[in-house]
Amino acid sequence: MKWHRRYGLIFLISLLLPLPLLWINWLFLEGHGEWKPLEHIVQEQLTSEHTILYGTAIHDDEFHYKMTLAEKARPEIVVIGSSRAMMFEKQYFKSKFINMGRAMSSVQSGFPIAQHLLSLAHPPKVVIFSVDFWWFNARHRLPQPPKGFPPQEPRLTLSKLLTPLTWLYQKKIHGREWLLMDRQPLETSAHVGVRAIRQGNGFRPDGSGLYTALAVGEIPASDSQFSQTIKDISLRKHGFFQTSSEPDPIYLQQFAALVQKLETAGVQTIVALAPLPPRVLAELAKHGDQYGYLARLAPEMAARNIRVHDYLTGKTLAGDCEYLDGFHGGSVIYARLMRDLLQQESAILSPHVNATVLDSLIEKFAGRTQWDEEFLKGRPEIDFLKLGCVKPNVPQGAQNANSKISL
């Protein structure tokens, strides 16, 4: 009997021992706002006098966040796309604007987004699609998205609750941070989420993305000198860079139907093929027609009565230094894109786009990826991709910034 009691006690203690660790984890994540419901976060962002970032480190909730934002904000103009679309910002527009970048990851995933926008009490007047080339590659097959909205994951799960212990082990956070002994970031920030508070990265209230920590060198670049992108291109079968000579006609047909769905409902629709850095385009050109579908995308779309503008292979907006990595442009690149779209589509965009602001941003911040001084806080943007870029207004010696490990 004593033997059973002893091992029963040991078993009970083994169950109870992790509880203090989980409680500290819960407090750490709660202190960073990670348990807040999306509706509350969006409401805080839209009603605050200050810019509140939302940058979670534990939730995969971009789709539902952007849907909630579109519902609450009642935008007149919307940009839809993947993470490559996230640098369109409200400052570019005179009308109410929402960026739905990261909500769309394939042609098929655009249909529930369009349906949601059309179901709103105040549907947008204009939709701009920022299109990724791999959406039209037959070899880049993605899992079929569920019809309608995908289910929203619970905010609190055991795996999420355990995550701070993983960060501790990987030395991504320090003990003082984990124990909330270093409260200065929490007490001076109204942002929501670990990444937003600790790094200044996340979604602005308009849904656009901010990458301050990367631009100032606080976290390392994952695609230095575009090395990873160039490697993927040379492999010709990895990630987004799988070869194809022609765009897939099924995907083209589906995309034409998506555009037509919005147009039929009275929403004016413009399509922009998102740009790539010149160095990456030069690498793709070395492979000849193996990546031939990139140049054929715009003509095939135009043949299907899609109002399309080719910033992929048709028009170079700027050099490599205004890119975040091998396929994400920075804020200035997308200001240039929006300025050119305004010129090409003035009948649709003139009531909504602020040309004066765009011209000012492009002139002042040419050569950089970020312009938001509120978050740069005097810190210079550096040559974080090690491309030999000379960033405007960078004090001498500032290129050697201290790096932090990314969450």
The predicted structure's pLDDT at residue 400: 40
Q: Which has the closest alpha carbon to 395: 216, 212, 220?
A: 216
Domains (range + CATH), the chain: 18-146+158-211+243-366 (3.40.50.1110)
| 3 state DSSP class of 310 | strand
**pLDDT string in tens for the chain (407-residue length):** 455 555 554 455 455 556 788 888 899 999 999 999 999 999 999 999 889 999 999 999 999 999 999 999 999 999 999 999 999 999 999 999 999 999 999 999 999 999 999 999 999 999 999 999 999 998 876 656 556 667 788 999 999 999 999 998 898 888 888 877 666 566 567 899 999 988 888 999 999 998 888 888 888 899 999 999 999 999 877 678 889 999 999 999 999 999 999 999 999 999 999 999 999 999 999 998 999 999 999 999 999 999 999 999 988 899 999 999 999 999 999 999 999 999 999 999 999 999 999 999 999 999 999 887 666 777 888 999 999 998 876 444 444 443 444 56
Name the helix (H) or strand (E) containing 221. Answer: none
The predicted structure's pLDDT at residue 405: 44
CA dihedral of residues 152, 157, 161, 163 (deg, nearest 10): -60
The predicted structure's pLDDT at residue 357: 95
Residues ≥6 apart with Cβ < 8 Å to 311: 272, 273, 274, 275, 317, 337, 340
The predicted structure's pLDDT at residue 42: 97
Supply the Cα-derived Rg of the chain in whole angstroms: 23
The predicted structure's pLDDT at residue 6: 55
Amino acid present at 190: A
The predicted structure's pLDDT at residue 2: 56
Amino acid present at 150: P
Tokens of 398: 């500032």
